[in-house]
Every structure is written in structure tokens, then in C-alpha cells.
Amino acid sequence: MKFTKASVLAGGVSLLACAASAETLNIQTSFNAGDFSTQYLTETWLPKISEMTDGRIEIVLTPNGSVVPARETPEAVAAGVLDGDFTSVNYFAGLEPAYAIMGDLISGYDTPEQMLGFCKDGGGEAMMQKAADSVTDGEVHVVACGPYSREALPARVPIRTFEDLAGKKIRSPEGLAAAVFQAAGASPVSIPFSEVFGALEKGIVDAADASAYVNNDATGLHDVAPYPLYPGIHSMPSMQFTINAEKWESLSAEDQQALRTWWYDTMYAMAAEVTKLDKELAERDAAGGKIEVIDWPQDSRDKLREVARAQWEDYATKSDLAKEALDANLAYMKQIGLFKD
């Protein structure tokens, strides 16, 4: 489906007008309106971009699906319907398999900061740009990329080690995540996110690929899954920050650098805040006695990473860019000591 500004406006979507004193960038996110992430960004970090550019640039964030479905943001940014996006790139795996590798290298990195380092200093940005070019013909500029949280794994039964995964039914998205769980001996089950609580409550699944600990706590998942694995063992979805290429070229080099610096400062700060909140909630729950917070030993984490690696390599055969994306990740992971060979 092709987008134009006229078609979106005709459909009743009105983008906010640019302020007279600043270039206002309308950026759609894959965060929902009530998310912690949305509130944190809006209250703490949006004002800073104006400060960093002496009032030349402002950013307006709109929530998931507010202008176009999340999976269609690359095309909308290319057409200028959106000035940019701030989106989990897992939405784009159907457009190019490299996005699955770049979006969430299941069980790969231990912390968001490691994966942010790959994007910022280890070639991740350039790889994400290649993926964007393959689906938008160079009409989208990738400013930055990386995750802000590692998801916990709420479970209704204890899964204390790698070996305990055997035979467990785990709600998982289809694709790379499901392949990793299956290779580890678990039985992945495809269930919509909206049905996770009920599936755990009724015992349809033993555990669920859900969200960060703070979000799982807010939605009550630990009431029905009192054995959460934290820190998580699997998922760390990466975001991208893109701007329409023509819009990007119209900005000064100083403001371009300010946008990139702002985004990474924001993500490192948000990662630290989510880690802090997750840790506080996990400690509260562990002390309360009703919830057993399970932290896998390092040898179990290493075993799952080795199993996952075989699935990454299999998935990387789906396209030349996917193979290049995996090679770039592996090179950086070896550099920081996550793999020895």
C-alpha cells in the first residue's frame, strides 16, 4: 500500500503543524499511549532536543498506529507522511529477514547497553541503513538504533536452569524466538499477547515471552506466573530512529549530530531507569515470599546462547543481508567477550 500526505489527510489524520520558531519532527513510535516508555520520553527527554538545538528542532511523538500501522512506518517515512519513526524493527521482518536478526538476536546480548554499543560503535547503524535502503530505495535515513530493556519471562512453574526448559510450553511469537525455544527443548505456542494472562492462568502455557518486568508487574502476570525469570534469558527487542532522507539532508550537520546524540542519551538513560525499576520490583517480590524470582546461572545462559546461535545461523540463510547482519553481530559479540570463537 502506497502512502502520500494527501491520502493520509483525506483519511482524517492531521499531523501537527510545525511551530514558527522550530522544525517540528512528527515521529511515530511503537509505544502505546499509556506505556511507561511514552511517559518517560515525553516528560523527561523531549524537552532536551529543543535545548540541544537552541530551539531549532522539536519532536512530537505519536503512539503506535496513530498514523499508520507499525509495520508500514518505513514506507510512510519514505513518502514523507511521517517525518520519522521510533519503532521496534521486529515489525519489519516480513519485509527483509535481516530485520529479524537486527531486531532481536534471541538470547544474544546480556544487557541493552551491549546491543546499544553494537549500534552506536560496532557497525549496527550501517547494517540497519542497508536494511532500510533495501525496502525504501534510500529514502529513509537511519539515525540510530538499539534496545532499552531486556524482557523477563513470567512462568507458572519453576524453570531454574537451561535443562528445565525441556517439555515446557512457552508462549512465543513465531519466527526466530520460537525456533530458539524449540531447539532448547521447549514447545513454543503461538498466542496473541492479549491472551497471555488467560493462557498462564489456565495452564495452557507454562511461561510466556511477554515484556519487561515492570510491564509484566503492571499487567498482573506475576499473580498467575509467580516464577518469573529475571534478568531475562531471551528477548531484547531493538528500536530504530529514522528520519525521511530529504528532511534529514535539510538539517545542518550540527543538528544532525544533536539528534543522534539525543537519541542515544535517551536510550541509555531509559535502559538505566527500566533496569532500576525492574530490579526494585524483583527485590520487592522476592522479599514478599509469594513470588520466586529466578536468576539463571551463567552456565545456563551460555548453553541457551549456543543453542540460539545455531538458529541465528539457520535464519541468516534467508537473505544475503540477513547473513551480513549476523556476521556483524557476531564480530561485535566476540569483541566484547560474549563468544570466544
Residue 152 predicted with pLDDT over 50:
yes
Report how far residue 285's alpha carbon sits from residue 29's, in angstroms, rounded to the nearest whole number: 31
The pLDDT score that the predictor gives to residue 341 is: 65
User: Who's near 2: CB < 8 A, 6+ residues apart?
Assistant: 75, 79
Report how far residue 138's alpha carbon sits from residue 233's, in angstroms, rounded to the nearest whole number: 35
Output 69 or 32, whichever has higher pLDDT: 69
The answer to whether domain 162-233+292-335 has CATH 3.10.20.90 is no
Centre a 10 Å sphere on the Cβ of residue 26 and count the other Cβ atoms it contains: 20
Q: Could you read off the pLDDT of 288-341 as tens digits, one per residue?
A: 989 999 999 999 998 998 999 999 999 999 999 999 999 999 999 999 988 766
The pLDDT score that the predictor gives to residue 177 is: 86
Q: Measuring CA to CA, which residue among 148, 117, 146, 189 is closest to residue 277? A: 148
With cut-offs at 50, 70 and 90, classify the pLDDT of residue 167. Answer: very high
With cut-offs at 50, 70 and 90, classify the pLDDT of residue 35. Answer: confident
Q: What is the DSSP letter of 219?
A: T
Report how far residue 151's alpha carbon sits from residue 96's, in angstroms, rounded to the nearest whole number: 24
E strand spans, the chain: 23-29, 57-62, 84-88, 140-146, 169-171, 187-189, 207-208, 239-244
Residue 29: phi and psi, rounded to 5, are: -105, 170
pLDDT, the chain, mean: 90
User: Who's near 186: CB < 8 A, 6+ residues apart?
Assistant: 165, 166, 167, 168, 169, 170
Residue 6 predicted with pLDDT over 60:
no
Q: Cβ distance 98 to 160 under 8 Å?
A: no
With cut-offs at 50, 70 and 90, classify the pLDDT of residue 205. Answer: very high
Residues of the chain with CATH 3.40.190.170: 5-148+236-276, 162-233+292-335
The pLDDT score that the predictor gives to residue 21 is: 66
pTM reported for the whole predicted model: 0.82
Express as a percent the part of the chain with pLDDT over 90: 70
Residue 163, C-alpha cell as written in the block: 535443562
Return the residue matching grid coordinates 499509556.
Answer: 34
With cut-offs at 50, 70 and 90, classify the pLDDT of residue 2. Answer: low
Write down the CATH number for the domain with range 5-148+236-276.
3.40.190.170
Express as a percent the part of the chain with pLDDT over 70: 93
Q: Could you read off the pLDDT of 220-267 as tens digits, one per residue?
A: 999 999 999 999 888 888 999 999 999 999 999 999 999 999 999 999
Report how far residue 254's alpha carbon sits from residue 208's, in angstroms, rounded to the nearest whole number: 44
**Lowest mean pLDDT segment, chosen from 19-28, 167-176, 295-304:** 19-28
Q: Could you read off the pLDDT of 101-118 as tens digits, one per residue?
A: 998 888 888 899 999 999
Residue 219: phi and psi, rounded to 5, are: -90, 5
Residue 14 predicted with pLDDT over 70:
no
